[in-house]
Amino acid sequence: MIALHSIISLLLTGLYLLVVIYLIKGWSALRRPSIKDASLSTKVTILIAARVEEERIRYTIEDIIALDYPKHLTEVIIVDDHSTDNTADIIRSYAADGIQLMQLKADKPLNSYKKKAIAEAIGRSKGDLMVATDADCRMGPQWLSSIVGYYETHNPVMISSPVTYFEERSLFERLQTLEFSYLIGIGAAFIGNGKASTCNGANLAYRKDVFYQVGGFKGIDDLASGDDELLLQKVAVQYPNQIAFFKSPQAIVYTHAKHTLQEFLQQRRRWASKSTRYKDKKIVALAVGIWLFNLSLIVNALLGFYNVYFLKLFLIQFLLKFVFEAAFLIPITNFFKRTNLIALLIILAPIHIIYFVYVGLIGNTRKYAWKGRIVK
């Protein structure tokens, strides 16, 4: 029985290590791209769905106003999703700067207000390239021009660009930044390997005509989350080789980690809820395999209290996990100029095992709170 348990544990470990090697390969395949130097000509619509964002949306808007992309080619539409604070008034105060306010008027309860907000904004838009971000994000002046330059040079139909956390105020938030870098790296690496599967909606661009060609959010509009990954997967079916990750420092969008454990778990539960709707079931199977690997780590650690053999097995698994994850994260944190975060991996790695198993269990079994609503 012990022999069989050991074989299963080592097979799961081998699977995980192969996945990380695959990710390392994919990230390395993403070279810093060349960008068109000539005058840019694409009409762009920046899309933001906002709900209860009075604390930070002003900074996002001011960053957008400060962008170096030609104003006559830039349209900004911010949809207020039934905010109960001063979000709409703040957006409205920037009308003279070309910021358009749309107020979502849902005539019946929805599970995905955000998708409806984005879809209605796209319906009103005049741009050819939709560039989506969030109402609590920050970006540099070259953010939009670099993305459009990449778009005009390489002609992808969808561009996923990097997102990271900043202005951390605690160890907990810095740990989130390291873990989030891992997630962004996964999405980038899969694209680098030609298998687009994940992205982040805080920095996502796509052609307007392609959005309609794939049916927009139809078929995924019953789920609260998924305006990014599930849309990307719909696009990947029709345009499997035309989705790009723009690995450029100028394209980075910055946002904030969650301040409390409860907020963090709610966010991750929301993200995990999308997994059962992935079109590529091989990705789902792979995620289950990784979940089982982490579960085996917990089981072996617990069994180690009764038999030192299992403790040794756990230590072998954990050491391999740590080394390979560090090899993956070092170039990613270097890209974000946050290599100092790698030192936190020794703290994050054991916590992540428990968290990953927990979120995997609850992500698809319970409703969760998001922006003051209970959704699924």
At 221-245, the pLDDT tens digits run 777 677 889 999 999 999 988 999 9
pLDDT at 82: 87
Q: What is the mean pLDDT of residues 346-361?
A: 92
Q: Is the pLDDT higher at 260 or at 282?
A: 260
Which pairs from 236-243 meet CB under 8 Å and 24+ separation? 236/196, 236/197, 236/279, 237/279, 238/210, 238/213, 238/214, 239/157, 239/158, 239/210, 240/194, 240/196, 241/194, 242/155, 242/156, 242/157, 242/158, 243/156, 243/157, 243/158, 243/159, 243/160, 243/191, 243/196
Residue 285's SS3 state is helix
Q: What is the mean pLDDT of residues 140-149?
A: 96
Strand partners, 166: none
User: Is a pLDDT exceeding 80 seen at residue 84?
Assistant: yes
User: Is a pLDDT exceeding 80 seen at residue 109?
Assistant: no
pLDDT at 252: 98
Closest of 119, 342, 128, 139 to residue 246, by C-alpha: 139
pLDDT at 146: 95
Q: How far apart are CA 140 and CA 252, in angstroms?
A: 8
At 182-192, the pLDDT tens digits run 999 999 999 99
User: Is a pLDDT exceeding 70 seen at residue 292?
Assistant: yes
At 40-71, the pLDDT tens digits run 999 999 999 999 999 999 999 999 999 999 99
Q: Is the pLDDT higher at 5 or at 203?
A: 203
pLDDT at 222: 75
Q: How far apart are CA 161 and CA 148, in angstroms?
A: 12
User: Is a pLDDT exceeding 60 seen at residue 373?
Assistant: no
User: Is a pLDDT exceeding 70 seen at residue 39?
Assistant: yes
